[in-house]
Structure 1
């Protein structure tokens, strides 16, 4: 079941997102960033601020009373920004991510937004290929990877984002 996340979900979302992107637990799944980044992917404070912003929606995928996936959707001008697509590492490749992507498209359509955009770290070739198989195209645009005390690069290669987009409808 996919529904809108609330403040009550923050602790569980924080645990899920960090387990899927960073540290040993994330290496069970194929979407890990543990080989290129350390530190946290997000914090409870950041998630609370995100949920409180009316332009943001976090959709959660719940099964047997467990949150097993989520995605952040941000209304930005004439497009929907998609970020932090997360599936529990043990459940990746089970269709949860694809269902969240489809729900994001329904959300964009309902808001009258003609396209979804996202940024993906350029070295994450498997993930980029997966998004392309799901209808996203490389716009050719690149954005610098932000240096912060949360996202700590440990990769030898410099990191940058590629911008992907998909037209809806």
Structure 2
């Protein structure tokens, strides 16, 4: 990934995560989706799932993946957002997207998504970005649709019984795949 210029005070700065960042990444992802602290933002899954959202082993695997990158966003030296990109042949998977709950709704998410799209399009040369979202997260799906993603009607089951992904609070969870064409890709 190319170098991203550092911003002035208060501006978000992107950098590639290292293994040393794993504990902070796990804390950020957990805070954005699970538990009471997640309820300060709008991306919480606390009403759908208990337990963990991720763990150090999964985050380390993403950070060390030779076909991917985990982007960190810092503001004044504080980790405020992150995302994962993984190359999958002619497309890229976008995941682990997290913004500190108290900063959600302030535009950081749009900036992160735009940078992820730029990396996938310009640096990897892929023309399609894909993501999986819990189908019951209508407001999150709508957010992605406003940013050009389309619902595919392709579903995959939630991994019930595998507590690495959380403890479901209802029996009907599943993921829906959304995709976005990246205009200007080679």
**Structure 1-normalised TM-score?**
0.96
Q: Is residue 103 of structure 1 aligned with residue 115 of structure 2?
A: yes
Q: CA deviation at 1:142?
A: 1.0
After TM superposition, the structure 1 = structure 2 runs for residues 1-169 of structure 1, keeping only pairs within 5 Å, are 1-109=13-121, 110-147=123-160, 148-150=162-164, 151-155=166-170, 157-169=171-183
Q: CA deviation at 1:81?
A: 0.3
Q: CA deviation at 1:51?
A: 1.0
Unaligned runs of 5+ in 1: none
| Alpha-carbon distance in 2 for matches of 1:122, 1:142 | 8
Unaligned runs of 5+ in 2: 1-12
Matched residue SS, 1:112: coil
- TM-align CA RMSD: 0.9
The structure with the larger Rg is: 2
Q: CA deviation at 1:84?
A: 1.5
| 4+ long deviations beyond 3 Å | none
